[in-house]
Amino acid sequence: MELAFGSEAEVKMLSLFFKDDEVQRIQQLARVKLDSSLFTFYVGKKAGEILGYAAIESHKVRTKPETLLVLLNAQGQLIKVHTLAFHEPPEYQPSERWYAQLFNLPLEEISFRKEIQGISGATLSSRAALDSVRKVLAVYQIGVAEKQ
């Protein structure tokens, strides 16, 4: 979590368990299936103030796994995505520059039909990344923002 919040932050787990209707809402917002009704955020704090939220998202791209660290600021906006593991050929991996086009966009605008440019030859990788980001943002909206 040092990568997410720095070495001086206090990090706590926030485990969310969703009811069936909440799972439906998350899936509708994210436009992707939620694999489990349990989801964990890591909340970074410093001097009692929330720095942000981090989620570790694992999924398959083609046939091999990818794991992303998706970071949201204290207001729930996407601010960073780190690739923790990517087992497909390296040329298919979305770059930091590609992820930067997603930062601070509202959930409904994270789509190839909107502001996002695709990656030539890496459609499946970029689509999987967008799905993960939308899922994390939808979970935050339903599980954190609406309950504050």
pLDDT in tens, 104-118: 888 988 887 656 766
**Rounded-to-integer distance, Cα 4 and Cα 16, Å:** 20
The separation between CA 62 and the C-alpha centre of its own chain, rounded to angstroms, equals 19
Going by C-alpha positions, the residue among 123, 140, 147 that lies closest to residue 57 is 140
pTM exceeds 0.85, yes or no: yes
**Rounded-to-integer distance, Cα 108 and Cα 144, Å:** 18
**Rounded-to-integer distance, Cα 54 and Cα 5, Å:** 9
Question: What's the domain range around 67?
Answer: 2-147
| Token pair in block for residue 7 | 């070495």
| Token pair in block for residue 12 | 């706590």
pLDDT in tens, 10-26: 999 999 999 999 999 99
